[in-house]
Every structure is written in structure tokens, then in C-alpha cells.
Amino acid sequence: MLLGVIADDFTGASDIAYTLAKGLSGEGGLRTVLYLGIPEETAAADVEAGVIALKSRTIETAVAVQQSLAALRWLLDQGCRQIVFKYCSTFDSTPAGNIGPVAEALAAALGVQGVLVCPAFPAAGRTVYQGHLFVKDRLLNESGLQNHPLNPMTDADIRRWLRLQTATDVGHLDIATVRRGPKAIEAALRENGERNRTLAIVDAITDDDLVAIGRAAASHRLVTGGSGIALGLAANFIEKRLVAGTGASVIGADGPEAILAGSCSGATREQVEIHRANHPALAIDVAGVMGGSVTVEDLASFLLANQGRAPLVYSSGSPDEVKAIQARFGREKVAEALDDLFAGTALELVKSGVTRLVVAGGETSGAVVSALDLGALAIGVEIDPGVPVLLSGGEKPVALALKSGNFGAPDFFDKALERLAGR
């Protein structure tokens, strides 16, 4: 294994796994495997890139650091020459969040400074300019992410945000430096390290910027960012003739299907509205969940009774609805109850023979795949930017699409089910 990724959630892990597998411009990348949690066994000999999916974005910081360092040790034991810490392209965190502490802990373990920080993902509308994160033409804190139920992003200045989380100053490489090419980027990162800055925000507006940044990081032990930062990383190993370069293949598992949507993002709510117009859909009564009147059996029965019709269950409320229910029952209790509900429902579905499962929402995806415990996943073709087909092994493979809340086109759910069938 040449490259190892530590991802702080499951949707992001699948996203960067596909980026590494497809390589630059889709001409072929690294033979990539997605691990759901830290593996207990040694990786297969033919794995070139290993992506470890953790559910560490919103847990206690000390635990997130501990899990990330454990993942680092396993990856280094597999021979990885480069480590990527992958977080969301919308930098989901809080002033007391985990991105800064985990990045600093990984940097200290590897003995490096001047580590680049770049959450940009232009294909999904995320760009970084003057250290500020944009979602399309809006500053992050004006894009709807300020209403995130767990990690409201109220400041688009990533430097300022990270300084609240880190022990050292945070540097910045502007777009002019990036446009001067890999050598200028590498020199600027080295200078930040010499100034004892562990982390440095790097501007990126286009995929070409990300490729240049990736090339500049060819010899870096640690890289951090969204999945876009991986665009140029596979090419570094191919150019050194350490790998031949392979592409993602068409894989799937045709059979019974279900859609679970736990995200409250604007994109997911639109996808839900479009899908429910033509397919069976059940809105989850969150108050009923908290009171015990809405159960796993209710959701599973609805989905199994509507097989062949692309059934959907969802808890994707508006920001006002989410705030009201959180105020009534408590944010953490609501999140935990919904995670348990979706996880239990997924288990029942798979036990009943469902082989195609679409999951919307990072926390929901984490709960579902943790419960299913499917082991290592193969990486297939991309459904929409940032969301590939995933396929488990074994005698009864399960095909998965794990969608971050704000990802995917309006018709994502129908499209995903077709791709999961191998079509």
C-alpha cells in the first residue's frame, strides 16, 4: 500500500476513494479499497490505496484524535508513503471541533509542519479564495450550512476557524502563489513550516489548481483536505512508475432496493420532494421516534411492502422544523435516536434480502454502515460528483450509495438505484 487515507465520515471516505481510483481525468488511478473502520487484518497485497472510514467528525475530540492515530498506525504498518486526512469540503466542524486537533496530532506523529489544508471541491461548487470557503457563489456561512443541525458553519474564513481549534498559527497560500505552479506551492509550504505553522490554508478555485497542489505535495508525508485534493495524488505514484494505473469499474448488485434519507440539507430536501412525487415515500415523525411510537419495524415494513417502486423514508426537515424538534428533545438525543432508527432499519432490510441501498447524509451513512459491518468495499463508477457505487464482498453482496447531504443532482435517487444495479 502506497497511500493511506483517514476520513472523518463515511460519505467522504467513499468520495475520496473514487477520486483515487479514477485518477487524473479518469485515465486510471490507484487500486483502492474502502475500509469501514480500522481493519484488524493486514491489507491484501494488491491494494495500492487504502481509505479508512471513521465516524469521528462529531464525537469527542480526544476520542477522534485517538481513533485517527490508531488508523495512522495501521496504514503505516501497511507501508504507506503518504497519508491524507480527509474532511468535508464544507469543513463541517465547530470552534471546538475535530479537524484542527486531528490534523495537528497526525502532523506531530509524522514529524511534519507546513501541512496543506484545502477543502476545495470545484466539481461540487466548493472553492477556497483568500482563505474563505465558498459554496458556488455564496460564502459558506451564507450557503445554508449555517443551519447545519450538528455543525453550523457561521464563518467562511477557514484560517480564523482553524485558529480556534489549533495550538499553532495557521498560514495561508493565496491563489497567486498556487497559479505559479507546484514549485512555488512547495516552497511556500516549506516556508510556513519554518515559521512553525503546522497548518496552512491553500486557495483553490479550479481542478487545475488542485492538480498543481497535489503535484506540489508529491513528497509530503501528510496532506489534508476534501476529496478534491486527491485529484493529482495518484498521478504522482504513476509518474514514478510505482503503479500502472487502473480505473474504477462498473459493479453492482441488482435486486430489492430502498432509500434512507437523514440529511436536512437543501439539496437532499429537493431530492426528496422530487422523488416522493412519483414514488412511495414515508416522512418520519421525529416526535414519534422520541416517544417510541415510530419504530424500526414501521420503516422496514413500509420499505419492504413497496419493493420495486424505489421506496423512500426520510427525516429531512426544514431548518425551522429541525430547531423546534431539537429544542424540545435535545440535539444530541434526537441525532442518536435517528441514527439508531436508520441503522436498525438498514439491518432489517439487508436481512430481508435488500441488495441496493441509497443513504443520504453523512451521520446517517455512518450509522448505517457501522451497523451493517460489511467489511472492505470495492469502488465502482461515479453516480454524481463525489458519490460512487460501493459494493461489499461475500456470497450476498450489497451495493451502496452513501451521499453527503449537499451532494447529488435533483434526480439523484433514481439515478443511484440504476447505477447500484450495475446499469
Same domain, 60 and 187: yes
Look at residue 4 and tell me whether its pLDDT is greater than 80: yes
Amino acid at 293: S
- Rounded to two decimals, the pTM is 0.83
When mean pLDDT is compared across 21-30, 79-88, 167-176, 209-218, the lowest value belongs to 21-30
Same domain, 270 and 342: yes
Alpha-carbon distance 299 to 45, whole Å?
41
Taking alpha carbons only, the member of 80, 107, 100 closest to residue 20 is 80
Look at residue 25 and tell me whether its pLDDT is greater than 80: no
Residue 384 is classified by DSSP as E
Tell me the CA distances in angstroms from 273 to 145, 285, 308, 312, one per residue in order. Answer: 20, 17, 19, 11
What's the mean per-residue pLDDT of the chain?
91
Task: Read off the CATH number of the domain in which 408 is found.
Answer: 3.40.980.20
Alpha-carbon distance 113 to 116, whole Å?
9
Same domain, 175 and 230: yes
> What share of the chain has pLDDT > 90, as a percent?
70
Strand partners, 201: 117, 172
Domain span at residue 208 reads 3-239
Alpha-carbon distance 100 to 111, whole Å?
16
80 phi/psi in degrees, rounded to 5: -60, 135
Same domain, 328 and 356: yes
When mean pLDDT is compared across 121-130, 196-205, 270-279, the lowest value belongs to 121-130
Q: What pLDDT digit, counting tens, does each position of 392-423 carry? A: 988 899 999 999 888 899 999 999 999 999 98
C-alpha grid cell, residue 295: 419504530
As for how many domains the chain has, the answer is 2
Q: What pLDDT digit, counting tens, does each position of 31-54 carry? A: 999 998 999 999 999 999 999 999
Task: Read off the CATH number of the domain in which 184 is found.
Answer: 3.40.50.10840
Q: What pLDDT digit, counting tens, does each position of 323-363 carry? A: 888 889 998 899 899 999 999 999 999 999 999 999 999 88
Alpha-carbon distance 414 to 261, whole Å?
13
User: Could you give the angle at the alpha carbon of 417 between the alpha carbons of 414 and 419, nearest 5°?
Assistant: 110
Alpha-carbon distance 281 to 39, whole Å?
36
407 phi/psi in degrees, rounded to 5: -95, 160
